[in-house]
């Protein structure tokens, strides 16, 4: 390592962060069904817990604690039960996030070649 290496200016850092954020938002927007939702098995497990819960409102298919529509809530990878009966799938999200980073890197390489 060398102390002679210079960090990018604040302006460059800001531009790099903005570019990365833009790429990430675009990627997620274009692939939201792939990256933001859980697998069917997890979805079914979550719904089964909700159906056994005293906060489950069957007619509305809602949670009386948070008011969320459960078929949508139970699909979201980072969503969780407000009473802690089921949690966010953070491990799955970490894996998906790493895959997103790899795909964005690969797109950047293609664009530079």
Residues lying near ligand SF4 in the complex (CB under 6 A) = 49-50, 53, 55-56, 63, 65, 81-83, 85
CA–CA distance, 22 with 11 (Å, rounded to integer): 16
Residue among 37 and 50 whose Cβ is closer to ligand SF4: 50
The answer to whether the CB of 23 falls within 8 A of the CB of 104 is yes
SS3 assignment, position 63: strand
Distance in Å, CB of 103 to ligand SF4, minimum: 32
CA–CA distance, 31 with 36 (Å, rounded to integer): 8
Distance in Å, CB of 1 to ligand SF4, minimum: 49
Residue among 73 and 96 whose Cβ is closer to ligand SF4: 73
Distance in Å, CB of 92 to ligand SF4, minimum: 18
CA–CA distance, 67 with 60 (Å, rounded to integer): 10
């Amino acid at each position: 390592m060398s102390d002679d290496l210079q960090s990018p200016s604040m302006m460059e850092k800001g531009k790099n962060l903005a570019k990365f954020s833009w790429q990430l938002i675009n990627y997620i927007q274009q692939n939201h069904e792939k990256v933001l939702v859980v697998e069917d098995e997890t979805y079914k497990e979550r719904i089964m817990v909700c159906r056994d819960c005293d906060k489950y409102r069957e007619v509305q298919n809602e949670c009386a604690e948070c008011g969320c529509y459960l078929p949508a809530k139970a699909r979201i990878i980072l969503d969780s039960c407000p009473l802690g009966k089921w949690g966010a799938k953070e491990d799955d999200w970490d894996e998906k996030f790493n895959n997103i980073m790899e795909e964005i890197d690969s797109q950047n390489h293609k664009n530079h070649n």
